[in-house]
Amino acid sequence: MNSNTSFHDLPALDTAKLPAHVAIIMDGNGRWAKKRYLNRINGHKKGTEVVRTIVRTSREIGISILSLYAFSTENWQRPQKEVAALMTLLKNFLQSELKEMMDNNIRLTSIGQIERLPENVKMALHKATTATRENNGMVLNLALSYGGRSEIVRMVRKIAGKTKDGLIDPDSITPELISEHLYTHGMPDPDLLVRTSGEMRISNFFLWQIAYSEIFFTDTLWPDFNKDEFIQILKDYQNRERRFGKVGS
Ligand code: FPP
């Protein structure tokens, strides 16, 4: 197969230069709803439909890992009604998408303080994670009650504990060892980070992992995000030269 193959209705993406790991900060659900005089929860509902579209598109294109920032450690401070609605949407998503994940060979993983999630969400998550664990077509990695700083604190505690127990020599602490003690151990760092809604912030997502990620900000609110724009962003990524701190070719 030619590396410039365009398949289905996907315009000329270079399949040899796809990002292996795409991470997305899905922002703007509230503003999307406000613009329509709707409750914020309606924005999250529409946002969930977009999650389905982008998961499907990523699988179709051949992305290996799609990480979605679905709920941050800071999001617990939102009004209780909104938190409850987000948890219900999440539980429903995990239940309704399980068949699609199985049919499309998608493995579900999660990162973050999973223990803080309501029992019914934890159960749905456990069920979907277990059922899909042998799938190898794509990883859908949901960041839930996730925060980059608390992930780093957790990693430091783990490494400090092992050092104290004499299992790790401080001189053998390397960037690789640190990566192995993060939630994302075993995953390559994101090649591409996308944030919707025009905000130019990282908001405590993947602080360690995005050292060399290409970053793309779009003004589009998450509920308005779609397959075409996602493909345009992937094409833009393919035109960038990644130097990893070295000189260009
Ligand atoms: C940011 O919009 C979005 C979130 C805090 C939650 C993201 C959740 C979803 C897209 C739906 C549920 C997820 C899954 C995986 C089923 P915001 O509320 O901060 O928007 P605003 O900045 O305009 O207020």
Atom of ligand 1 nearest to the CA of 86: 12
Q: Is residue 179 part of a domain?
A: no
Convert the pLDDT of each residue in 148-174 to its tens digit: 999 999 999 999 999 999 999 999 999
The amino acid occupying position 21 is H
Q: Is residue 98 domain-resident?
A: yes
Residue 208 forms part of a structural domain: yes
Please say whether the beta carbons of 192 and 19 come within 8 A: yes
Determine, yes or no, domain membership for 29: yes
The reply to whether 180 falls in a domain is no
**Residue position matching structure tokens 């993947």:** 206
The minimum-distance atom of ligand 1 relative to the CA of 82 is 18
Ligand 1 contact via 109 beta carbon (within 6 Å) = no
Asked whether 93 lines ligand 1 (CB < 6 A), one says yes
Q: Is residue 11 part of a domain?
A: no
Q: For residues 163 and 167, what is the distance between their CA atoms, to the nearest angstrom?
A: 6
Structural domain count, the chain = 1
Please name the residue whose Cα sits nearest to atom 24 of ligand 1. 30
- Residue 177 resides in a domain: no
**Spatial separation of the C-alpha atoms in residues 244 and 85, rounded to whole Å:** 41
Length of the chain: 249
Catalytic residue list: 27, 75
Q: How crowded is residue 209: how many other Cβ atoms within 10 Å of its Cβ?
A: 22
User: Percent of the chain scored above 70 by pLDDT?
Assistant: 95
Contact 179, 208 (CB under 8 A): yes
The Cα 81–Cα 65 span in angstroms is 31
Work out which ligand 1 atom sits closest to the CA atom of 50.
10
The predicted pLDDT at position 246 comes to 82
Q: Largest alpha-carbon pair distance within the chain?
A: 59
Q: What is the pLDDT of residues 119-142, one digit of tens each?
A: 999 999 999 999 999 999 999 999
Is 140 among the domain residues? yes
In this predicted structure, the answer to whether residue 53 has a pLDDT above a threshold of 70 is yes
User: Which CATH number goes with the domain that contains 89?
Assistant: 3.40.1180.10
Structural domain boundaries enclosing 94: 18-147+189-238
pTM of the model: 0.94
**For the segment 68-119, what is each residue's pLDDT rounded down to a tens digit?**
999 999 999 999 999 999 999 999 999 999 999 999 999 999 999 999 999 9
